[in-house]
Amino acid sequence: MHGGSSLGVFTADTPWSEATVNLAKKFAVLVQGVLESPLMHGRKDQKNANESGNTISGELDEQALTRDLKRFVEESELSIPKIASEMGVFSATLSMWIAGTTKPSRTGLLAIKSFLERRG
């Protein structure tokens, strides 16, 4: 690159402005909050919520629900953010469930089941 400032390659010695460092810290706090949110892990007060159908011996069938959800997403004209919004979860959470990166909590399974029943 010729003249002026360039973005080039950043190294450990790259000087960061105070504003950039503060923004990075705020972003880290935001990400931590999302990862710790009840929508990511389920709320403890809903652990014993009543459910019916899609169960094996009284337990929600995680594999069947996630399989059905994945099929719905693949066949639907709706976007992942729209589906996630209707389910009451973050789109990142829905994407991780579909990809198998994370497993839904009991609350998440109930949200999936309720969503599929409404859309079924």
Domain boundaries, the chain: 38-119
Q: Give residue 18's pLDDT.
A: 78
Closest of 31, 32, 95, 119 to residue 108, by C-alpha: 95
Closest of 85, 86, 112 to residue 97, by C-alpha: 112
**What mean pLDDT do residues 53-69 have?**
75
Mean pLDDT over all residues of the chain? 75
pTM over 0.85? The answer is no
Check pLDDT > 60 for residue 13: yes
Domain 38-119: give its CATH architecture.
Orthogonal Bundle (1.10)
Confidence of residue 55 (pLDDT cuts 50, 70, 90): low
Question: Is the CB of residue 39 less than 8 Å from the CB of residue 90?
Answer: yes
% of the chain exceeding 70 in pLDDT: 56
Q: Residue 55 pairs with which residues in a beta bridge?
A: 60
Check pLDDT > 70 for residue 106: yes
Question: Is the CB of residue 69 less than 8 Å from the CB of residue 62?
Answer: no
Q: Which two three-digit tokens encode residue 10?
A: 């950043």
Confidence of residue 19 (pLDDT cuts 50, 70, 90): confident
Check pLDDT > 70 for residue 72: yes
H or E element, residue 92: helix 91-99
